[in-house]
Amino acid sequence: MKYLTKNWYKNKEKYHFPCELEIIKINKDDKEKIFLEEYKKTFCKMKQKHLVEEEWVFDDIFKSYLRNVKHFFSAQTLSKIYDIRLLALGKVFQEEYQLVEEEIIKKDVMQAYNKYYNTIKSKLPKDIDERLHLHDCLITNIIKESHKLTIELDCTEGYGDIKKVIFNNYSIQKEDINFINRWWLYEEIYIVDNQYELHIMTSGSREGVAYLTIRADEIILE
C-alpha cells in the first residue's frame, strides 16, 4: 500500500476529514442564514440517502465533524475561513478551496489516494470502479492456478455484493501471510506496465494488519 499504510490505519481517526468539499456560490451577507440553509441541505441529502433519519442524530454527527475540523486544521488555516461550521459540513467558498484542499491532502491520505484514483478512473472498467469496494468482507478462500487466482468472499458483514474476485494472468507482488479467514479492509488500485495492480489491506486475529498485492491483466468481479 502506498497511501493506506499500517501507520495510517493505526492513526486514521486522527487524520481524517470526513466530508467531500463543495464550493458554495452565495453572497456572504448573513452568516447565520447561510449556515442554517447549508445545514438543512446537508441533513436532507443524508436523509434521502437513508444515512440518517432524525435531525437530532444528524446534529450529533455535525458536532463530531465540528470537533474534527477544530483539531484537523491548523489555527492559521481556520483563521482564514469564513465560518468553520460550514467547513464542518464540507462547504467552502471559492477563495478558501485551495487552502483547505491542500491541507486535507497533506494530512488525510485517504483523500490523497482518492485524488490519485480520479486520475486513473477513466482507464478502469466500469465494474471495477463501481463495485470494487469490499470493506469488511471476509476472505474465505484463495485458489491459485497457473494463470488465474480467485479470492472467494463472504460480504454478509461488508459493503460489497461480490462473491469472487478473479485475477487473470496474474503475479503476486506481496503476500505477507495466509489470508484465508481475514477481513478485507481497504484496497488501492494502480495501472503498472499495462496491468492492474491491486493492493489489499487485511486484518485478523493473527499478524494484525497484513498486505496482499496482485498484478493481473484482468480483474473480474462475480
Mean pLDDT, rounded, for 51-70: 89
Q: What percent of the chain is predicted at pLDDT more than 90? A: 65
Which of 48-57, 72-81, 141-150, 190-199 comes out lowest in average pLDDT? 48-57
The CA–CA distances, whole Å, from 91 to 22, 130, 144 equal: 5, 26, 47
- Distance of alpha carbon 61 from alpha carbon 46, whole angstroms: 11
The domain tally of the chain equals 2
The pLDDT of residue 37: 93
Are both 142 and 75 inside the same structural domain? Answer: no
147 in any annotated domain: yes
d(CA 2, CA 189): 10
What gap in Å lies between CA 81 and CA 73, rounded to an integer?
11
| Residue 1 domain flag | no
pTM exceeding 0.75: no
Over range 186-213, report the average pLDDT: 93
In a domain? residue 135: yes
Q: Is the pLDDT at 179 greater than 80, yes or no?
A: yes
| Nearest Cα residue to 20 out of 96, 129, 104 | 104
| Predicted local confidence at residue 13, as pLDDT | 63
Residue ranges making up the domain that contains 66: 17-107
pLDDT, the chain, mean? 91
> What are phi and psi for residue 18, nearest 5 degrees?
-80, -10
pLDDT for the residue 221: 97
**Residue 42 binned pLDDT confidence (cut-offs 50, 70, 90):** very high
pLDDT at 14 over 70: no
CA-CA distance, 215 to 169, in Å (whole number)? 8
Mean pLDDT of 142-163: 93
Owner of C-alpha cell 443524508:
46
What is the spatial distance between Cα 148 and Cα 167, in angstroms, rounded to a whole number?
6
Q: Looking at the domain assignment, is residue 72 inside a domain? A: yes
Q: Residue 39 contacts by C-beta under 8 Å, 6 or more apart in sequence?
A: 62, 85, 89
Residue with cell 480520479: 118
Q: Are residues 153 and 195 in the same domain?
A: yes
